[in-house]
Every structure is written in structure tokens, then in C-alpha cells.
Structure 1
Amino acid sequence: MEFLTEKVIYIALFILIIHTIETLAYAVRLSGARVGLIASALSLFNLMVIVSRMANMMQQPFTGSLVDTAPTTNTLAFVESQYRIIIGASTIGTLLGIILLPTFVALFSRSIVHLSKQGGSIPSLFRTLFSVDYIKRGLNLMHIPSKKYLKGFTLAHVPKRLFVVNMLVTSVYTIGVLSALYAALLEPDRASTAIMASGLINGIATILLVVFVDPKISVMADDVIQKRGDYMTLRNVSLMMVSSRLLGTLLAQLLFIPGASYIAWFTQFIV
């Protein structure tokens, strides 16, 4: 277990928090549809996405440093073991987000109402959220999902293609940076090219998410507010989306090495 260093543990915890936040972002649309304030909900959703993306950018140099500090012998296996722990942390973070989803739907519902009342002021919202009184109320709302929460759950209205696309996008986004760094070890002569490819990979994954996934969920939320859709259908789809996200992080374990090999192969056409 030499590969399980203190730095790896810190990075894994950071990744866990990032994926928890990104999973809980699905609760924002549910909350917006619940209180009828979808525009305010999207504002809060965008804030969470920015925070998670910034946090992800902050951890990348530390993740890259694992390659620099790897031993000169058995380097590939050593780094692979460390990176698989980090990928595993993304799965745990997603699972934690799923467990906390019902609690955060309730919390976000109140936050969205506060945001609307305060004229869209994020600083004012933060002052409210981090007040002692609000924190106490938030802790009282926390609970583990029960069988009652899954009552009425059905796959009938869940778009299967949306499920698969979200799973694939999540897996690519999870391993984009890690596979690029590992590819740098596979082709040390083209290491810089391989590392810089991570931005392109994550960019493509983000575009696919914005083009094929986000609009579908947003339209469903709009339909609920305009009485053309059912809240239970939106909830079912949201539950399936976080489930596909969880499977995506597991799929990332399988795609990690093939992804790195593909990046290493592709760099020969760039250099």
C-alpha cells in the first residue's frame, strides 16, 4: 500500500466532494420545479457547476504531481493504483450525493425562495445560508432516503438514450485528466502534448452534456411549472440521471487505461 500516500488521500477527498456537489446539482431543478421558480433555480445550478469546475481545476496540479513523485521503478503500476483510488473516490462522492438528494431538494427549495426574495443577490443568500439559525434548520431536514421516497418510481418515462449518454459523458469527464496524465507516461517523448489533450477531452464531454443532457432536464422542469408535465416524472428522470452518473464513474474504471492508450496513440498525429 505504498501508493496510498497522504497526498492521494487528500486528492481523493477533494474529488469526493466535487462529485457530491455535481450530483446534488440535479436537486436544484427538482427544487425549482417544486417551488415554481425555475429561472432562480438555474442561477443556483450554474453557481454549483462553476464551484465544482473551479474545484476540479484546483486539484489537477496536485493530481499531476503524483506522476512527478512516482518511483522510477514500476512507475506505471504505481501511478495506476493511485489514480484508481481517485476514480473510486468519484464513485463514493456520487453515491453520497444520491443519499443526500432528498435532503438537498428540501434545502434548495428554501434557498431558491430566499434568492428570489433577496432580488437575486448571491452574497445575501450566502449570509442567510451560513447563519446559525438556517444551519440548525438545515440539520433538522437531513435524513436518509426511505422506501417512501421511491414510491411511484418507474422507468416508463425515462429516455434510455439520455441515460446512456449521461453515463458515457460522466465516465469521460471522470478520467479525462487522469488518462491524459497516464498517457504522458506511456509516451514520454510526447508527454506535454498528451497532458494538454485533457482540456480538449473534458471540453468535448462538457459540450455533449450541454447539448444532449441539460436541455432535456430543463424542458421537463419547465413542463412541470407550466402544468404540462408531472413532478413525479421529473423526479424519476432525475433519479435515473444520478444513477447513470454513478454507473458512469464505475465505467470510468474500465475506460481509464484504454482512454490513456488512445490519447497516447492520437498524440503522434499532433506532434
Structure 2
Amino acid sequence: MGFLTDKVIYIALFILIIHTIETLAYAVRLSGARVGLIASALSLFNLMVIVSRMANMMQQPFTGSLVDTAPSSDTLSFVESQYRVIIGASTIGTLIGIILLPTFVALFSRAIIHLSKQKGSIPSLFKTAFSLDYIRRGLNQMHFPNLSYLKGVTLKNVPKRLFFINMVVTSIYTIGVLSALYAALLAPERASTAIMASGLINGIATILLVVFVDPKISVLADDAINKRGSYLKLKNVSLMMIVSRFLGTLLAQILFIPGAEYVAWFTKFIV
């Protein structure tokens, strides 16, 4: 367990928090549909996405430093073990997000209403959210999912294609940077090219998410508000997308090495 250094633990905790935030972002649309303020909800959703993306960029140099500080002997297996711990942290973070989902649907509902009353002032929202009174009330809202919360949830009405696309995109996003860094070890003569490919990989994953997944959920949220669809269907699809995301982090463990080998191979055509 020599690979499990303090730095790996800190990075893993950071990744855990990032994936918890990204999972809880699904709660924002549910809250928006619940209180009938979908535009305000999307504003809060975009804020959470930006925060998680920025946090992800911040941890990348630290993750890259694990390659620089790896021992000269048995480097590949040492770095692989460290990166698999980090990928595992994304799975745990997603699971924590699932457990906290009912609580944050309630909290985000209050936050969206407050954001609407404050004419879209994010600083005012933060000021309220971090006040002792709001935190106290938030703790009172905490409750874990139970069987009644899952009542009516089924895969029947969930587009299978959407489910698998979200799973694959999540796995690509989870390992994009890690596979590129590992590819630098597989092809040291093209290390810089492999590392810079991480931006392209994550960019493609983000585009796929925006094109194929996000619009579908947004339309369901609009339908729920405008009575063309039901809140239960939106909740059903949102929960299945979260399950898909969880499975995507598990799939990332399988795709990690093949992804790195593909990046290392692809760099031949760039250099």
C-alpha cells in the first residue's frame, strides 16, 4: 500500500467532492420543476457545473505530479494503482450524491425561491446559504432515500440510448486526464502531446453531454412545469441518469488502461 500517499488521499477526497457536486446538480432541475422556476434553477445548475469544472481543473496539476514523483522502478503499476484509487473516489462521490439527493432537492427548492426573490443575486444567495439559521434549517431537512422515495421509479420510461450515452460519457470524463497522463508513461517520447490530449478528450465528452443528455432532461423539466408531462417522469429519468453516472464511474475502471493505450497510439499521428 506504499502507493497510497497523503497526496493521493487528498486528491481522492477532492475528486470525491467534485463528483458529489456534479451528481447533486441533477437535483437542481428537480427542484426547479418542483417550485415552477426552471429558469432560476438552470442558473443555479450552471453555477454548480462551473464550480465543479473549475475544481477539476485545479486538481489536474496535482494529479500530474504523481507521475513526476513515481519511483523509477515499476513506474507503470505504481501510477496505475494511484490512479485507480482516484477513479474509485469518483464512484464513492457519486454514491454520496445519490444518498444526499432527497435532502438537496429540498434545499435547492428553497435556494431557487430565494434566488428568484433576490432578482438573481448569487452573492445574496451565498450570504443566506452560509448563515447559521439557514444551515440549521438545512440540517433539519436532511433525510436519506427510502423505498417510498423510489416509488414509481422504473427503467420502462427511460430511453435506453440516453442511459448508455450518459454512462459512456461519464466514464470518458472520469478518466480523460488520467488516461492522458498514463499515456505519457506508455509513450515517453510523445509525453507532452499525450498530456495535452486530455483537454480534447474532456472537451469531446462535454460536447456529447450537452448535445445528447442535457437537452432531454431540460425538455422533461419544461414539460413537468407546463403540465405536458409529469414530475414523476422527470424524477424517474433524473434518477436513472444518476444511476447511469454511477455505472459510468465503474466503467471508467475498465476503460482506464485501454483509453491510455489509445491516446498513446493516437499521438503517433500528431507528432
TM band (smaller chain): over 0.9
Matching residue of 1:3: 3
Matching residue of 2:121: 121
- Measure how far apart 1:240 and its partner are: 0.2
> How far does the alpha carbon of each residue in 1:56-101 deviate from its partner, in whole angstroms, 9 at most, with x for none?
0000000000000000000000000000000000000000000000
> How far does the alpha carbon of each residue in 1:77-136 deviate from its partner, in whole angstroms, 9 at most, with x for none?
000000000000000000000000010000000000000000000000001101110000
> How far does the alpha carbon of each residue in 1:125-178 deviate from its partner, in whole angstroms, 9 at most, with x for none?
001101110000000001111111011112221111000000000000000000
Q: Distance between the aligned counterparts of 1:63 and 1:118, measured in 2?
A: 39
Matching residue of 1:72: 72
Matching residue of 2:60: 60
Question: Given residue 152 of structure 1, which amino acid in structure 2 is its aligned partner?
Answer: G
Q: Distance between the aligned counterparts of 1:150 and 1:22, measured in 2?
A: 21
Q: Distance between the aligned counterparts of 1:108 and 1:179, measured in 2?
A: 35
Q: Size of the alignment, in residue pairs?
A: 271
Q: Distance between the aligned counterparts of 2:72 and 2:113, measured in 1?
A: 56
Matching residue of 1:83: 83
- Measure how far apart 1:266 and its partner are: 0.3
Q: Distance between the aligned counterparts of 2:243 and 2:48, measured in 1?
A: 19
Structure 2 residue 219 is the aligned partner of structure 1 residue 232: no
Identical positions, percent: 84
SS at match of 2:149: helix
Q: Could you say what the CA RMSD is over the residues aligned between the two structures, in angstroms? A: 0.4
Q: Distance between the aligned counterparts of 1:250 and 1:151, measured in 2?
A: 26
Matching residue of 2:171: 171
**Stretches of 4+ aligned residues off by more than 3 angstroms:** none
SS at match of 1:49: helix
Q: Distance between the aligned counterparts of 2:54 and 2:153, measured in 1?
A: 34
> How far does the alpha carbon of each residue in 1:198-238 deviate from its partner, in whole angstroms, 9 at most, with x for none?
00000000000000000000000000000000000100100
Q: Distance between the aligned counterparts of 2:73 and 2:154, measured in 1?
A: 52
Matching residue of 2:219: 219
Matching residue of 1:133: 133
Matching residue of 1:254: 254
Structure 2 residue 196 is the aligned partner of structure 1 residue 203: no
* TM-score, normalisation: structure 2: 1.00
Q: Distance between the aligned counterparts of 2:157 and 2:123, measured in 1?
A: 38
Question: Given residue 165 of structure 2, which amino acid in structure 1 is its aligned partner?
Answer: V
Identify the range of structure 1 (153-162 vs 82-91) with the bigger mean alpha-carbon deviation.
153-162
Q: Distance between the aligned counterparts of 2:192 and 2:165, measured in 1?
A: 30
Identify the range of structure 1 (43-52 vs 153-162) with the bigger mean alpha-carbon deviation.
153-162
> Which structure 2 residue ranges, 5 or more long, are not aligned?
none
Question: Given residue 122 of structure 2, which amino acid in structure 1 is its aligned partner?
Answer: I
Question: Given residue 162 of structure 1, which amino acid in structure 2 is its aligned partner?
Answer: L
